[in-house]
Amino acid sequence: METEQPLPILLSADSVAVLAVGTLLALALNHLVSSWRSARRLPPSPPGLPVIGHLHLLRPPAHRTFHELAGKLGPLMHIRLGSTHCVVAGSADVARELIHRHDAAISGRPVTALARLFSYSSAGFAFTPYSPRWRFLRRLCVSEVLSPRTVEQLRPVRRAALAPLLRAVLAASERGEAADVTGELVRFANASIIRMVASDAPGSVADEAQGLVKAVTELIGAFNVEDYVPLCRGWDLQGLRSTAAGVHRRFDALLEQMIRHKEEARERGRSCGAIYELEHEQEDEKGSAPATRKRNKDLLDILLEKAEDEAAEVKLTRENIKAFITDVVTAGSDSSAATVEWMLAELVNHPEVMRKVREEIDAVVTGDCRIVGEADLPRLPYLQAAFKETLRLHPGAPIAHRVSTAEISVRGFMVPPRTAVFINVWAIGRDPAFWEDPTAFRPERFMPGGAAAGLEPQPRGHHFQFMPFGGGRRGCPGVGLAQQSVPAVLAALVQCFDWAVADGETGLVDMEESDVGLVCARKHPLLLRPTPRLNPFPSVV
């Protein structure tokens, strides 16, 4: 027996049109109501515009714009950058709640188109999604690549990189010229981190890498409209994609050259039963071949050993190694150079603090026989307090970036999944709720008896008012390296030279911030006139 078919319902054209319009209106009304209900649960937000959201409100540097908006909307606010929804935390209390209660749920990192390119599709640890692979890479970074033992073993590499810096400043002094401290510090930081990665890299490779590291860092930190406005995707309106492709090709070729050179050196070392290096691949003054000597493992040695480890829980690929190196050199070069620069500028602008730092160094390093080094830091508490005060006012990364992986509730507001979470580290370090006279440069606050005595650069427990290296799972793993290298470089510059502002009627250094890149750098080059304090000038190593 056949199943009876329903009769078709015949409607006139006018009826169809009315039904269609009614359906669209009902859907639109339902969307508006849902959006209104959702918006009622989101943090406060300024008025936005279609398509671009609040992009028109952002003025670089972004951390200052967020701070100004927070003054009107509160320490937790919602903004929309094109199609990207974001929440911004601007106080220590909100940061504590986010990291203490929801660290796992905000453990993702926003990956831009250019960051994806340079991280080999998130093959490194900086942009890899929170997962067992990320946990392995993070553990590898903390326990081996940037562990205290590795940082200590590579101290001679950093010490050797200091010599060209001091010689360049001394040469400027002898010529009676101002020293471009900014340029010299960038060259020093790049050379130091590259030698830590591959201590036996040929000199030509290290020299080429310095310029490329700067380019990679600037591109990763560049604002790319394609990341936020879908209508612009694929157009490369700013030319960033084509520029980045060229830089990536050159940097990838350089990384391949470094890795192949290391593999060949390791193979030669294995044939001799030990690890050896060729000292800078250069002939000595007599023209003889470079000598070999036993050495400590550098970062590339550690990564290659892990790649060869068949028992490792995660197998490292060549892309993992390249991305790992990119993460280390981009995170450790510009930020450390900028911090030394800010610290020296603050000391020049505060002669009394400069005097105290120098007197402490001179008391520890007596006579003119040697230059202060990392081994002296435990006996230089005021220097370390000045370092912390510099980080409070000028954190290398002024905004900590996260992405929510699940819906969370913060202070009664809803933060949906896949929302960018920005923690304004710069604003937190200047919060008057925790810091007396917050914009003043006062290292004494970190000394015994001071209000911030005992605070460390990565928060533990409830001390989230000082977090220049972020916090939680995605906190910077290079804290130990920064705490060793940055104060030591500044100490050497202060011990070896008197400093004066090259130009300007006030005799003060201009402290205006740059509005380019991820690193909180100075806007203008630091030009200072150095005068040697030590005669004869001692050798660095």
Report which of residues 393 and 329 the model is more confident about. Answer: 393
Report which of residues 369 and 520 the model is more confident about. Answer: 520
For 1-53, give the secondary structure using H, E and C.
CCCCCCCCCCCCHHHHHHHHHHHHHHHHHHHHHHHHHHHHHCCCCCCCECCCE
pLDDT, position 97: 94
User: Which token pair is 374?
Assistant: 């990392």
Classify residue 318: in a domain, yes or no.
yes
Q: With cut-offs at 50, 70 and 90, classify the pLDDT of residue 19.
A: very low
Separation between Cα atoms, residue 204 and residue 75, nearest integer Å: 49
Place of tokens 């960038």: 186
Separation between Cα atoms, residue 156 and residue 507, nearest integer Å: 36
Q: Is the N-terminal amide bond of 61 cis, ω within 30° of 0?
A: yes
CB 66 within 8 A of CB 525: no
For the residues 102-127, what does the mean pLDDT come to?
90
R_g of the chain computed on alpha carbons: 27
- How far is the CA of 456 from the CAs of 107, 389, 461, 462, 532, in angstroms? 22, 11, 11, 12, 33
Q: Residue 364's closest CA among 372, 356, 355? A: 372
Domain that holds residue 184: 55-532
| Percent of the chain clearing pLDDT 90 (strictly above) | 60
- Mean of pLDDT over the chain: 86
pLDDT, position 111: 86
Separation between Cα atoms, residue 111 and residue 318, nearest integer Å: 21
Classify residue 42: in a domain, yes or no.
no
Place of tokens 């100490």: 491
Q: With cut-offs at 50, 70 and 90, classify the pLDDT of residue 125.
A: confident
For the residues 377-404, what does the mean pLDDT come to?
96
Range name among 35-49, 66-80, 373-387 with the lowest pLDDT average = 35-49
Place of tokens 């026989």: 369
Q: With cut-offs at 50, 70 and 90, classify the pLDDT of residue 282.
A: very low
Separation between Cα atoms, residue 333 and residue 86, nearest integer Å: 28
Mean pLDDT highest for which of 37-51, 207-221, 524-538? Answer: 524-538
Range name among 6-10, 105-109, 436-440, 493-497 with the lowest pLDDT average = 6-10
User: Which token pair is 430?
Assistant: 């200047």
The count of domains in the chain is 1
> Per-residue pLDDT tens for 503-519?
866 789 999 998 877 78
CA angle 332, 324, 270 (to 5 degrees): 110
Element (H, E) at 531: strand 527-532
User: Which token pair is 29?
Assistant: 């009304």
Classify residue 20: in a domain, yes or no.
no
Look at residue 14 and tell me whether its pLDDT is greater than 50: no
Distance of CA 362 to the CA centre of its chain: 32
Look at residue 332 and tell me whether its pLDDT is greater than 70: yes
Report which of residues 220 and 281 the model is more confident about. Answer: 220
| Percent of the chain clearing pLDDT 70 (strictly above) | 87
Range name among 16-20, 80-84, 158-162 with the lowest pLDDT average = 16-20
Classify residue 382: in a domain, yes or no.
yes
Range name among 217-221, 394-398, 409-413 with the lowest pLDDT average = 217-221
Q: Residue 38's closest CA among 81, 78, 70, 95? A: 78
Classify residue 33: in a domain, yes or no.
no
pLDDT, position 40: 56
User: Which token pair is 340?
Assistant: 């030394």
> Per-residue pLDDT tens for 443-465?
999 999 999 998 988 877 678 99
3-class SS of residue 241: helix
pLDDT, position 110: 85
Separation between Cα atoms, residue 115 and residue 122, nearest integer Å: 8
pLDDT, position 153: 94
Taking the CA of residue 230 as centre, how many other CA atoms within 13 Å lie in the half-sphere pointing to its CB? 4
3-class SS of residue 495: helix
Classify residue 468: in a domain, yes or no.
yes
Look at residue 322 and tell me whether its pLDDT is greater than 60: yes
pLDDT, position 268: 82
Classify residue 349: in a domain, yes or no.
yes
Residues 6+ apart with CB under 8 A from 519: 217, 221, 334, 335, 338, 396, 397
What DSSP character marks residue 451? T
- How far is the CA of 280 from the CAs of 220, 293, 302, 431, in angstroms? 30, 12, 19, 48
Which amino acid, residue 522?
A: R
The secondary structure of 245-298 as a DSSP string is HHHHHHHHHHHHHHHHHHHHHHHHHHHHTS-EEESTT---TT-PPPPEEE----
Separation between Cα atoms, residue 504 and residue 398, nearest integer Å: 28
Q: With cut-offs at 50, 70 and 90, classify the pLDDT of residue 540.
A: low
Look at residue 244 and tell me whether its pLDDT is greater than 90: yes
Q: With cut-offs at 50, 70 and 90, classify the pLDDT of residue 417.
A: very high
Look at residue 258 and tell me whether its pLDDT is greater than 80: yes
> Per-residue pLDDT tens for 156-197?
999 999 999 999 999 999 999 999 999 999 999 988 999 999
Provide the 10 A C-beta neighbour count for residue 168: 17
Classify residue 106: in a domain, yes or no.
yes
Q: Residue 400's closest CA among 494, 475, 302, 324? A: 475
For the residues 214-236, what does the mean pLDDT come to?
86
520 is in an annotated binding site: no
The model's pTM: 0.87
- Whichever domain contains 195, its CATH number is 1.10.630.10
Report which of residues 535 and 187 the model is more confident about. Answer: 187
Q: With cut-offs at 50, 70 and 90, classify the pLDDT of residue 84.
A: very high
